[in-house]
Structure formats: structure tokens, C-alpha cells
Amino acid sequence: MATEALIKRAFPEIVIVEQIFKDQIEKFHHYLEGLDLNEEVKDRISKATKPMLAPSSSDRLHKFIERYGLDPEIFRAWKKSRNPSAHGDFLDLKKFPLILKRRNNVLYLCHAIVLAFIG
């Protein structure tokens, strides 16, 4: 979604992953290699934990909303809009007014990110 790209480009340092946390993830990867597990299992676990080395879009957006005092419902609207879109779910047209409200909240969030970025 555009929201994720905006927050990452406009506020790349809004959430910092502490070095001690990164070190622990790297230590876990090293430990994982020594475990008596199938290589496919090791590979999938390793790939699942690599994203922890950088802040997620969710972390960034949550921090932005908190920092700028926006309604927490905006975060929930983004999350509920993003998840079905990202996973290719079909829209339930009976819920169209709710879907439209969420999308408008996400658009508001995009505008807020741009406005905060330009000051």
C-alpha cells in the first residue's frame, strides 16, 4: 500500500530496532544452524525472523499515529484494509460502507504523513 511506502520514505527513523535486539536475532540464527532440524524448517524459521532486524511498516505507522496524536482507529483501519488486500481476499460488498470508511481513514493517514513530512 502507498501508506507503507510513504511512512518508510518520509520517516525512516521513526522506530529504531535496538542493536542488542539485532544481536539477539543474529545469535538465534547462529544457534538455529546448529539445531538438529530439517534444512527446510531452518530456512523457513530464518526467513521468518529476518524481518525483525528492521522496523515493520506496522511499527512505523503505529509510532507515527502515536507521535502525532491521531485517532488510534486510523491504525486499525489501515490494518483491516491492508491485510485483506495483501492476501488477495475478495471484498464483501455488504460491508461496502465500512470498507469505504476504512479506506478514507487510510487516505487521511497518507495525507497526515505527507503534511508532517513537509512541516
Per-residue pLDDT tens digits for 28-51: 999 999 999 999 999 999 999 999
What is the reported pLDDT for 45? 94
Gap between the Cα atoms of 11 and 15, Å rounded: 9
- Which regions of 1-119 does DSSP assign to beta strands (E)? none
Asked which of 1-5, 20-24, 84-88, 89-93 is least confident by mean pLDDT, the reply is 84-88
Q: Measure Cα distances from 15 to 43, 54, 55, 61, 102 in Å.
A: 27, 9, 6, 9, 24
Look at residue 75 and tell me whether its pLDDT is greater than 60.
yes
Kindly list the domain boundaries of the chain, sorted by start residue: 1-14+55-119, 17-54
C-alpha cell read off for 79:
490494518
Look at residue 103 and tell me whether its pLDDT is greater than 70.
yes
What is the reported pLDDT for 67? 97
